């Protein structure tokens, strides 16, 4: 190689570009490999395949014959008189029952009054002008929680109104279900709970969920630049930009890529997600791994 080739700025620039691209790909792969169904953005992408939603409902509702007629991911439910909502997943089955599935990692976001509000807005949007109240469909608000909100060590909590004096059902057709994924037992709910917390599609019990997650995490799919996956990754990419603003964009991005690579090799998948969102936690890991 000539001296000119060795010192050619164009060669150095090309090499640096390749290194930068490789670092970005490592970060992207580390983040995607760490995702589970409990990630609020990732699950919305998974549920765009109606078969996945249908399977989850079949297990939670203990009804293998349940079939969905239609569904909406990120359903906007405006309220001109007050607080509006964007529902994670809103769907209707063949019997015209309505379901709202919400992923709740934060216990404070899964309080009973929130579930009540979700149910009330669904009622408002499901009864058209001029319809009789008897035409209100059955509604099920389903909170899939990372922790045991009620601390009774149950897999699921079914809430419905009763007549206090005799304990009989009020039968208003409004139901709330909390699916506690932290409670693992050897049954269909327990296996579904495990599927929600594993990041490896090969370890999933459900073939339907496994195939969907494997496809979304495949290298070919990532390289195609799927729009929805890019939206998901944009949230995590902000971490690199924050580091870049403080230390120089390139150096910050490379440091974050190095951190993500070490965490991925060590199997510290929860640390990957937390570090991507939490600046203080990220700096703590930098110090721990001597990357400062």
pLDDT in tens, 3-26: 555 556 555 555 544 444 555 566
* Helix, strand or coil, per DSSP, at residue 239: helix
Q: Are strands 85-93 and 156-159 parallel, antiparallel or unpaired?
A: unpaired
3-state secondary structure of 51: helix
pLDDT greater at residue 198 or residue 273? 198
Give residue for tokens 């109240």: 133
At 75-85, the pLDDT tens digits run: 888 887 788 88
C-alpha 142/C-alpha 60 separation (Å) is 9
C-beta of residue 156 within 8 angstroms of C-beta of residue 189: yes
Inter-CA distances, 17 with 10, 21, 22, 34, 102, Å: 10, 6, 9, 26, 41
pLDDT of residue 1: 54
Give me the residue label for tokens 């699921």: 156
pLDDT tens-place string over residues 179-201:
999 999 999 999 999 999 999 99
- Chain-centre distance of CA 204, in angstroms? 16
Task: Write down the pLDDT at residue 218.
Answer: 85
User: In a 10 Å sphere around its CB, with 0-12 CB exposed, 13-18 middle and 19+ buried, how is residue 229 labelled?
Assistant: buried
Q: Is residue 188 within 8 Å of 59, Cβ to Cβ?
A: yes
On the question of pLDDT at 70 being above 90, the answer is yes
What is d(CA 243, CA 60) in angstroms, rounded to the nearest whole number?
Answer: 42
In the numeric block, the tokens 């929680």 are attached to 145
Neighbours of 249 (CB within 10 A): 14
């Amino acid at each position: 190689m000539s001296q000119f080739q060795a010192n050619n700025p164009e060669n150095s620039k090309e090499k640096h570009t390749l290194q930068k691209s490789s670092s970005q790909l490592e970060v992207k792969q580390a983040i995607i490999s760490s995702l589970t169904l409990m990630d609020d953005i990732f699950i919305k992408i998974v549920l765009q395949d109606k078969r996945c939603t249908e399977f989850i409902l079949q297990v939670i509702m203990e009804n293998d014959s349940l079939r969905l007629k239609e569904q909406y991911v990120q359903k906007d439910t405006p309220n001109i008189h007050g607080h509006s909502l964007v529902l994670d997943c809103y769907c209707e089955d063949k019997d015209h029952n309505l379901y709202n599935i919400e992923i709740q990692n934060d216990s404070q976001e899964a309080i009973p009054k929130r579930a009540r509000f979700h149910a009330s807005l669904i009622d408002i949007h499901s009864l058209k002008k001029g319809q009789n109240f008897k035409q209100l469909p059955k509604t099920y608000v389903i909170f899939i929680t990372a922790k045991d909100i009620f601390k009774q060590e149950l897999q699921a909590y079914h809430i419905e109104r009763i007549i206090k004096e005799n304990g009989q059902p009020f039968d208003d057709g409004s139901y709330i279900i909390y699916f506690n994924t932290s409670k693992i037992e050897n049954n269909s709910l327990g296996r579904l709970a495990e599927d929600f917390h594993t990041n490896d599609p090969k370890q999933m019990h459900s073939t339907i969920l496994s195939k969907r997650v494997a496809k979304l995490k495949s290298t070919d799919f990532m390289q195609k630049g799927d729009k929805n996956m890019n939206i998901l990754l944009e949230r995590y990419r902000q971490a690199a930009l924050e580091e870049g603003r403080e230390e120089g964009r390139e150096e910050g991005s490379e440091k974050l890529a190095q951190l993500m690579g070490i965490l991925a090799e060590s199997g510290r998948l929860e640390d990957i997600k937390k570090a991507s969102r939490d600046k203080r936690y990220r700096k703590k890991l930098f110090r721990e791994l001597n990357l400062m």
